[in-house]
Structure 1
């Protein structure tokens, strides 16, 4: 405890869990939360969910799982340098994307269109840890971890939201919010180069002049800048310099226009969207099929919610295999 900054969140001062449970004798509250997430089924499914490139067969492309691990590694590095709680930081990082759909943001857009009240992966991440995991019992995570998960997303907005209520209550949550973007702008650029979608020469020179010419240099620049600026403010906040923050946001916007929306990438996501739309409508019309194929009906939930839970929890390959079995002719097996 003495090694932590006075601004760190102490596990001994947690606001607790929704349901009281016996304290582990060898782990703090936040360590226990980290382990709960790590051993959950939804965490394991992240390895077969799209990050940017749809169901990639190449061994070196990122998935939602490797993205999560990169966020966790970067965030722990900064947390240690700032004297923040590494266990809380890691728990938030490991749990922040548990509610993501198959096929990345294309899947999220489909469910948002179809589900009454819409769909957002942040709300779904909380639903996963609060309700869906462990057969409906949920993981019963601490308030601080849930808060960090619920406020990590920036969408197309700023790293530091103007509304303080939209920001995490802990510095560890602030840290993960920034490290999420540090991870994805770097690895999405790296994967896009590997896929031949773009070349480094296309990236605006002013962005690379600030952040660096290589993957490692860019991460180093962002991490060091965050540590230096935060420490210069006494460690009471997590910040980056205006120059570096503007370059990060500029790179995010450039990737949106030159990677995420390019025809060769976007066309496959249009196909994936049709898969999820057809599956959602199929199970909405046949509740018995929903349960028979692995979905669950949670007490008190509308059928639309249960179907959304099932579709959102699918991996890319599970969704494609299920679609093939349901909608495509099968080879005749009787001799």
Structure 2
């Protein structure tokens, strides 16, 4: 059952470049499939979530994180009567614009690009799916529907004030109505990102030995989950106990979003997707009580994981990699791969060259960035 405020593929706003519709897939299904087959999506398997990709086989990467986000998003979209294919498409695409080395690489690239318009990974995701993926005969990018592009661009809500250049350039030609909220489907995809990383960062931090089960048992939600597992399965071995507890943490977050959002959608009185966009506030949220609990969990992760000495040391090392590569390519852009040279010849001025260099470095995987740094700078990693 699809709710009246859901995105109906039969009423989608279409694509920038008109295409004949599929006889067996909706437009949102095609978007999802194009994202899965994109080169940028495949590269996510070697991009950092928190730990650099080569540090361990079991830690999440941007790819496994995106798959987990999509799974959560489909579950919540189904429970709320929303279009699951659109939700999944936005969820799978939400991290396409991430640099190598996660937020560390993004911070470094943003600082280096300050003179040329800065860098924002959400805007870069739009740039990837509208320009940088070049596989189709009739257009650059993936030619996604307006609804999917809107969801990617508004991953953090309405985009107000000065726009990142990568988003401003596209929006000037294809208005994504950045001042409004996104569809409920896109809001579900965005909140599923929070659900997924709050849960799996606890798991990865435990595996990395940055903190112990005893320490996180003092956190809200987590402590109750461990207590329930110990009551139901006394003496359970450590790995099973951890999994059973953290899957309960996951369940608490998902159930809270569904229950809270059902009430918000009802209270909004929205009878169309446009009403959701113009509602003035998100309709997909955590409850205030759970959000307060999550802030405590996030504060713990920030101090014990994201700022752990071993993680900080690696952040410093990979920041230097980006800081070395960017000026090198900017000064000698012919070092870029040959397939980039035709675009390079069309560049008008330093700003255009810098943005091309930014596109190239942002698309690198952790592994490739380290290899290129070693090759070009003569520094082993």
- 1:195 is aligned to 208
- The match for 1:319 among 348, 364, 369 is 369
1:114-125 matches, cutoff 5 A = 114-115=112-113, 116-125=116-125
CA separation in 2, counterparts of 1:113 and 1:295?
25
- The match for 1:137 among 128, 135, 140 is 140
1:1-335 matches, cutoff 5 A = 3-115=1-113, 116-134=116-134, 137-153=140-156, 168-203=181-216, 205-208=218-221, 212-213=225-226, 214-233=245-264, 235=266, 237-292=283-338, 297=343, 299=346, 302-328=352-378
**Aligned length in residues:** 319
Do the aligned residues in 1 keep the contact of 2:54 with 2:367 (CA within 8 Å)?
Answer: no
More divergent stretch after superposition (114-123 vs 231-240): 231-240
CA separation in 2, counterparts of 1:249 and 1:147?
28
CA separation in 2, counterparts of 1:210 and 1:203?
7
Shift of 1:153: 3.4
CA separation in 1, counterparts of 2:19 and 2:181?
24
CA separation in 2, counterparts of 1:329 and 1:242?
49
Shift of 1:96: 0.5
Do the aligned residues in 2 keep the contact of 1:46 with 1:63 (CA within 8 Å)?
Answer: yes
Structure 1 residues 329 and 126, CA gap change in structure 2 (3 angstroms): closer
More divergent stretch after superposition (104-113 vs 127-136): 127-136
User: What TM-score, normalized to structure 1?
Assistant: 0.89
User: What TM-score, normalized to structure 2?
Assistant: 0.78
Shift of 1:232: 3.5
Ranges in structure 2 where 5+ consecutive residues have no aligned partner:
158-176, 227-244, 271-282
Do the aligned residues in 2 keep the contact of 1:46 with 1:65 (CA within 8 Å)?
Answer: yes
Structure 1 residues 166 and 105, CA gap change in structure 2 (3 angstroms): farther
Shift of 1:5: 1.3
CA separation in 2, counterparts of 1:241 and 1:4?
24
Ranges in structure 1 where 5+ consecutive residues have no aligned partner:
155-163, 331-335
More divergent stretch after superposition (206-215 vs 262-271): 206-215
Shift of 1:165: 6.0
- After superposition, what is the alpha-carbon deviation per residue over 1:223-269, rounded to whole angstroms, capped at 9, x for unaligned? 11111222234555323321112212332232122211121111111
CA separation in 2, counterparts of 1:102 and 1:182?
23
Structure 1 residues 206 and 321, CA gap change in structure 2 (3 angstroms): closer
CA separation in 2, counterparts of 1:102 and 1:109?
11
| RMSD, aligned α-carbons | 2.3
Shift of 1:105: 0.6
